[in-house]
Every structure is written in C-alpha cells, then in structure tokens.
Amino acid sequence: MSFKKQYSDYFFSFSAIFFMGLIISAPKVCAAGAQKGLMLCSGALIPALFPFAVPVLFLINTSAFKSINKKCLALFLLSLIGGYPIGAKLICELCKSNQLSKETARKILPFYINAGPAFIIVAVGKGLLGSVMLGYILFASHIASSVIISAALIPHYILSNNQNKLPNKSLSLSDNFVLSIKGATDACISICAFVIFFSVVNEYVLHFSQGFKPLSILLYFTEVTSAVKQSGNIYVISFLLGFSGISIWMQVLFVSENIKPNIAVFSAVRIIHGLLSVLITTAIIRIFKISVPTFSNNTTLQSKFTYSSLALSFSLLIMVIVLLINIVSKKHSGNIIKDMI
C-alpha cells in the first residue's frame, strides 16, 4: 500500500469516527439537519427535478439522435433543462453503451453540469426569493455562462474525431418510458441522499459557527440548496448555482467513476461558470434597471410551488396509462422483477 493511499485511509477513517462522535454528542443537531434536508427534497428538489428528468432520459434513448454530434449537442441542451446530475448521468449512459468514448466523455463532462429551470425559477426564484422574475434572471445568466464557456473552451476535435459506432439497439416506447421513470427515480434518490447528508453537515457547521463565526464560510461550499437558502443574496446565489457545491461535485464524480474526469479542470470550470454568471446577472440587473430587494439569511423556503393537485393528478394518470400499456404489450418472462425493469 502506498503512503498516499494509507494517508487517505487514515484521514477518511478519522473523519468518519469524528462525524459519528458529533452525532452521539449532539443528536438533536443531526435530527434537525436531516429534517431540513428531507424538507428540501420533498418541497423543492423532487417536484422540480423529477418531472424534467423523465422526459430528458426518454428523449436521449429515442432514434431522433443517431449521430455522436447530435447526441452530444442534445446532451448539452438537456443538461441545461434537466438539472445538475442529468448531464453527467447521460454521458455515463452513452459510455456504458459504447456510444461515446471515455476520452471524449472525460473532456466534455465538466461543461455539462448545469442547474435546471425548475430548480432555479421555481425553487430558488419563487420559493426562496419570492420572485419569479429574479428566478428567470438567475436562469438566464446561468445558461448564458454555460453556453459561453462551452463554446469557448470545448475544442471542435472532441466531437469531430469521435468515430464510435452506435449500437443497433432500439427500445419500444413503453420500455423507454419505464426505463426513464426508473432512471429518474434513481437520480432523485441519489440527489436526495447527498442533500440530506450535507444538510446534516451544514447543521453542525451552523451550530458550531455560533461560537466561531469564520466557520460559517463552509456553508457556501458544501450543498448548493442549503447554501442558496443561507445566502439570500442574488449575486452570491448566482455564483453558487454555477459553482454547484461539493455535494453536486461528489454526485457527478460518483456516477462518472468509470470516466475518471480531471478534477482540476472540473473545479476550474465550476469556478469560472460561477464568476461569469455573477457578471451576467449584474449586467442584466443594471441594463434593465431591475430593483433587487434585500434578503436576510433567515429567509424561509416556501413549501408551496406552482404544481397544482390537478396537474399532478393528470401527470400520474398519464404515467399509469402508459405503464398499463407496457404491461399488456410486453412479453413476460415469468420473472416479476425482470418484467418490471
């Protein structure tokens, strides 16, 4: 075992023991953090991300995107509307099916990490800041920054030199729908797990920062949802959405483990994305002379969103109908689990 590997094992083992000690010594703080994380997941993340993740995963598996160039362009566009982990997840799926080389995936991955409109406009704009207009401003600057960085830094040879052959595999509409639901569910569960964990970490940081104020700076680098909620400043929020936070970084690195992205490049792109988003947000506000109210750090996340009970009922009805069609039309093997997935 190398010294570096041994040092890493000792460090993370100590961190795990230290964290368990915190839970034992202050269990109420842990419970409060987990409760906040669950509230963020149920009140903001799942309603915002899951409805987008399903059609995004469905589209990428259709025959509309046959060539690598079209698929990569589609991936980028879908990453802009699907949310943070969607771009990384789709890139990894293409690698697994040999539709994209690991080298190409490794180079384009840092540019495909974007917050979705549902999260920025609904959860952050309307839910946190109480203004849909501010949500649109943040989303516009976020997209513009991502497009500018991608156009300037992604070399053309990445896509033009990719000679992978696409597999002759096609899915039926019903199978594609079921797999999209399953993929979206897996993605949401993964996201929520990280959000809950880092919400607990943030709660401990907030608890101990009462006696040591500089410690509160860590809150802005761990989990983006909690960091945005803690900030309340539109310019800081604009940077945080581009930076995305360590929680999102870990999610991306986890799902892209086989790709092994360059950490230094990934970190640099995240920081540049955040800084450029701030400049664009500032420009939009000054050019259009938009009045930005002052928000306190005690702003509470509203639990009411634009998803009405009628809309949810209609969506669920469509899902059930398509699922029934799949069950009736699909050839059954006798294995219930296999038939379901």
Q: What is the 3-state secondary structure (H, E, C) of 33-99?
A: HHHHHHHHHHHHHHHHHHHHHHHHHHHHCCCCCCCHHHHHHHHHHHHHHHCHHHHHHHHHHHHHCCC
Report which of residues 141 and 194 the model is more confident about.
141
What pLDDT does residue 154 have?
A: 65
Q: Note whether 274 and 313 are same-domain residues.
A: no
| 290-311 mean pLDDT | 50
For the ranges 28-32, 39-43, 129-133, 229-233, the one whose mean pLDDT is highest: 28-32
Structural domains in the chain (count) = 2
**Domain identity same for 276 and 316:** no
pLDDT higher than 80, residue 7: no
CB 54 within 8 A of CB 184: yes
Residue 202 covered by a domain = yes
Indicate the DSSP class of residue 212.
Answer: S
Q: Are residues 160 and 290 in the same domain?
A: yes
**Residue whose pair of structure tokens reads 């509230």 in the numeric block:** 39
- Which range marks the domain in which residue 212 is found? 26-307
Q: Kindly report the average pLDDT of the chain as a whole number.
A: 75
Residue 67: pLDDT over 50: yes
Does 214 reside within a domain? yes
pLDDT at 38 over 60: yes
Instruction: Let me know if residue 9 belongs to a domain.
Output: no
With 0-12 / 13-18 / 19 or more C-beta atoms within 10 angstroms meaning exposed / middle / buried, residue 14 is exposed
Both 318 and 302 in a single domain?
Answer: no
Of 5-19, 232-246, 257-271, which gets the smallest average pLDDT?
Answer: 5-19
**CA dist., res. 209 & res. 216, Å (int):** 5
Residues 296 and 316 both lie in one domain = no
Per-residue CA distances from 110 to 69, 85, 151 (Å): 17, 11, 13
Q: Are residues 244 and 334 in the same domain?
A: no
Over the stretch 99-157, which tens digit does the pLDDT of each residue have? 777 888 888 888 888 988 878 888 788 878 888 899 999 999 999 999 998 887 665 54
Q: What is the pLDDT of residue 320?
A: 46
Same domain, yes or no: 289 and 325:
no
How many other C-beta atoms can be found within 10 angstroms of the C-beta atom of residue 27? 10
Closest CA to 194 of 234, 223, 228, 164: 223
Per-residue pLDDT for 247 more than 60? yes
Most confident of 3-12, 22-31, 260-269: 22-31
| Within a domain: 4 | no
Listing DSSP states for 124-143 in one string gives IIIIISS-HHHHHHHHHHHH
Report if residue 51 sits inside a domain: yes
Residue 278 clears pLDDT 50, i.e. is over it: yes
Per cent of the chain over pLDDT 90 is 16
Same domain? For 240 and 125 the reply is: yes
Q: What is the pLDDT of residue 187?
A: 74
* Model confidence, pTM: 0.71
In this prediction, residue 118 carries a pLDDT of: 78
In a domain, 246, yes or no: yes
253 and 313 share one domain: no
Highest mean pLDDT out of 18-22, 162-166, 167-171, 257-261: 18-22
The first and second tokens of residue 288, run together, are 């259009």
Say if residue 189 is in the same domain as residue 337.
Answer: no
What's the mean pLDDT in 168-172? 62
Q: How confident is the model at residue 338 (pLDDT cuts 50, 70, 90)?
A: very low
> Looking at the domain assignment, is residue 258 inside a domain?
yes
Whether residue 337 sits in one domain with residue 241: no
Whole-number pLDDT of residue 315: 45
Residue 19 covered by a domain: no
Clarify whether residues 224 and 119 are in a common domain: yes
Mean pLDDT of the 248-257 span: 79
Contact 280, 144 (CB under 8 A): yes
Q: Is the pLDDT of residue 341 over 50?
A: no
What confidence tier does 201 reach under pLDDT thresholds 50, 70, 90?
confident
Residue 311 has pLDDT above 50, yes or no: no
Find the mean pLDDT for residues 193-204.
86
Summarize the confidence of residues 33-61 as an average pLDDT.
Answer: 79
Q: pLDDT at position 39, please?
A: 87
Higher pLDDT, residue 160 or 199: 199
Q: Of residues 333 and 153, which shows the higher confidence score?
A: 153
- Asked if residue 164 has pLDDT above 70, the reply is no
Query: Quick check: 206 pLDDT over 90?
Result: no
Q: How far apart are CA 320 and CA 326, in angstroms?
A: 10
Taking the C-alpha atoms of residue 292 and residue 289, their distance in angstroms, rounded to an integer, is 9
Q: Measure the CA–CA gap between 222 and 203, rounded to whole angstroms.
A: 11
